[in-house]
Amino acid sequence: MTLRNTSKLALVSVISLSLCAVCSAPALAQMGSMGGMSMSDPMVGGAAMYPTKNIVENAIESKDHTTLVAAVKAAGLVDTLEGPGPFTVFAPTNEAFDKLPPGTVATLLKPENKATLVKILTYHVVSGRYTAADLMKMVADGGGTANLTTVEGEPLTVTQMGRHLLVHDVKGDVAKVTIGDVIQSNGVIHVVDTVLMPN
């Protein structure tokens, strides 16, 4: 190989490496914002969820959880969910509450129905901090199911379908975890698309 050909080959190699570097930068940036690889705080209901804030402080900021926050206040559970915990909360969205029969939420928010409201809300809370990875391991170890005892006292059953966690209540309804691992200072929130009901 001549000196001229060697020089041309070296120049081509340098150009190729430069182009790869330019192309890879945006690709790497995109990868960093996908699949949970980003180091930024997760967004829920259009607001960043900060791990330095507690469950109530973060939930108040989510536009997707205004009904849940109103219910927590009506049930007198704010102090409990601001406590040290830790708690794992399966947090239904406004759309989840909208799937209930018409008038259900308004009825539950009435003072005379506080006991029922407390029962429903505490059925979405489990003592301890269970991340999605923890729950998936429990499901695998349990042969396909994991049972969690809620603060209300009745169980929830967790299963896995592909990469998604499903939460089954005692009445047979199933909620899908749409956003998992929203870390709080006193636990973790998993956003769900269905209100879970105890007996």
Q: What is the mean pLDDT of residues 186-199?
A: 93
Q: Which amino acid is at 100?
A: L
The CATH number of the domain covering residues in 43-192: 2.30.180.10
Residues 6 or more apart from 20 whose CB is under 8 A from it? none
Residue 52 and residue 82 in contact, taking contact as beta carbons nearer than 8 Å: no
Q: How confident is the model at residue 149 (pLDDT cuts 50, 70, 90)?
A: very high
* The pairing of beta strand 174-184 with beta strand 47-48: unpaired
Q: Which amino acid is at 60?
A: I
- Taking only the tens place, the pLDDT of each residue in 90-108 is 999 999 999 999 999 999 9
State the DSSP string of 67-103: HHHHHHHHTT-HHHHTSS--EEEEEE-HHHHHTSPTT
For residues 82 and 48, the model is more confident at: 82
Please give the model's pTM, rounded to 2 decimal places: 0.76
Residue 121 and residue 112 in contact, taking contact as beta carbons nearer than 8 Å: no
Domain boundaries, the chain: 1-34, 43-192
Q: What is the mean pLDDT of residues 125-131?
A: 95
Q: Between the ranges 20-34, 39-53, 157-171, where is the mean pLDDT highest?
A: 157-171
Q: What is the mean pLDDT of residues 11-26?
A: 35
Q: How confident is the model at residue 47 (pLDDT cuts 50, 70, 90)?
A: low
- Whole-number pLDDT of residue 21: 36
In terms of Cα–Cα distance, which of 104, 199, 89 is closest to 153? 199
